[in-house]
Amino acid sequence: MEIFRTKKGLQEAIRLWKAQNTQKKVGFIPTMGALHEGHISLIDAAKMSSDLIVVSVFVNPAQFNEQVDLEKYPRTESADADLLKKNGCDILFLPEVSEVYPEGEPKYEIDLNGLDSVMEGMFRPGHFKGVCNVVEKLLRMVKPEIAFFGLKDFQQVAIVKHMINLRQLPVEMMACPIKRNDGGLALSSRNALLSEQEKEEARIINWTLRLAKNLVNEGKSLAVVNENARALFKLSNLELEYLEIINNSSLKPVSSMHKNMSICLAAYCGKVRLIDNIQLN
């Protein structure tokens, strides 16, 4: 595995590889590091359809609302590099902030068509503009044929898809399933901040989502689904931030059965904010 910290080094390596491997595909996975099996599942997906696997690890300051969260974000560079090497990553891009945001370079402005005004966007103003900006920059640097994103960040998938379409970037976007632990908790870098007891308590998230899915399958109305999901969640010590049944494309809440909908949830488990979602039909 080769490691690059500069855009120049990265692009030169990819250019050389492409010159020797015409017709083959570059697969790209952007991450913020503190890597776990969830990230590795994206690499496994990438290996199925791409020939050169490029992973970036960059903690993007533009997508944090609170300076303390940015400072607190786990940074585990050498463990990340070891894990990536072991799992078949070919190129690791590890840029400094100044490499991604050179002084004087304008930010990409984007109209997210309201996709960022619901759920995560409501509680994290400006977050998705920051995500889109960095993803666009990275996609323009790496120029992959395919980019891989996890459905763990459901709203991010919808918004990045919108950005790629709007900009007409020549890249296929692949949305990959959520990787969970044996207790059903979606893997996340933030789980490392949970105590063992909190990890147990956080299982209520998955139970709530699964209850909602079962009720939908039984043909219950969405009002009943919503009410029962909230009632179950209330039995826990977690603090609910939002629970929404939404249309997968518009991300707007739906009040009656729709053929393509999901339930999305954010909650605090102690001081740790967790998100999760499940496709309902």
CA–CA separation, 227 vs 139, rounded Å? 41
Catalytic residues: 39
Ranges within 24-83 binding ligand AMP (CB under 6 A) = 31-32, 38-39, 41-42
Helix (H) or strand (E) holding 176: strand 172-176
- Report the interhelical angle of 127-142 vs 7-20 (nearest 10°): 50
Q: DSSP alpha helices (H): ranges in the chain?
A: 7-20, 37-49, 67-72, 77-86, 97-100, 120-123, 127-142, 154-167, 196-201, 203-217, 222-234
Q: Name the residue nearer to ligand AMP (CB basis): 80 or 90.
A: 80
Contact in structure between 197 and 264 (CB atoms under 8 Å): no
Q: Which residue is nearest to ligand AMP (CB)?
A: 150
Q: Positive or negative CA dihedral for 121, 35, 76, 196?
A: positive
Q: How far is the CB of 63 from ligand AMP (least distance, A)?
A: 9
Is residue 89 near ligand AMP by the rule CB under 6 A? no
Q: How far is the CB of 219 from ligand AMP (least distance, A)?
A: 30
The span of 80-88, 108-116, 174-182, 251-259 binding ligand AMP (CB under 6 A) equals: 174-182
Is residue 181 near ligand AMP by the rule CB under 6 A? no
Q: How far is the CB of 46 from ligand AMP (least distance, A)?
A: 11
What is the contact surface with ligand AMP in residues (CB under 6 A)?
31-32, 38-39, 41-42, 149-150, 152-153, 176, 178-179, 186-189
